[in-house]
C-alpha cells in the first residue's frame, strides 16, 4: 500500500468515526432531554401526592367549621 493510499484510508476511517460520534452525541442529547422531562413529571406527581393530604385536611376542617357554624346558630 502506498503512503498516499494509507493516509486516505486513515482519513476516511476518521471521518466515519466522527460521523458515528456525532450520532452518539445527538442520541445522548435526546435521551437527556427525555430524562429531564421524566424527572419534571415525577416531581410534579410527587408534589401533587404530598399536597393532597394537606388539601384534604383543609377541606374537611373548612366543612367542619361551616357545619359547626350552622348548628351553633
Cell numbers for 71: 348548628
Cα 40 from Cα 34, distance rounded (Å): 10
Q: Residue 72: is its pLDDT beyond 90?
A: no
> What pLDDT does residue 10 have?
95
**Cα torsion at 20, 24, 27, 29 (round to 10°)?**
-130
> What pLDDT does residue 59 have?
87
Is 19 or 70 the better-scoring residue by pLDDT?
Answer: 19
Report the chain's mean pLDDT, rounded to a whole number: 89
Helices (H) and strands (E) in the chain, counts: 1, 0
Amino acid at each position: 500500500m502506498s503512503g498516499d493510499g494509507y493516509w486516505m484510508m486513515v482519513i476516511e476511517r476518521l471521518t466515519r468515526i466522527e460521523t458515528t460520534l456525532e450520532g452518539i452525541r445527538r442520541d445522548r442529547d435526546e435521551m437527556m432531554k427525555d430524562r429531564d422531562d421524566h424527572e419534571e413529571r415525577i416531581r410534579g406527581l410527587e408534589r401533587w401526592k404530598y399536597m393532597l393530604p394537606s388539601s384534604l385536611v383543609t377541606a374537611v376542617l373548612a366543612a367542619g367549621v361551616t357545619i359547626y357554624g350552622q348548628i351553633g346558630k
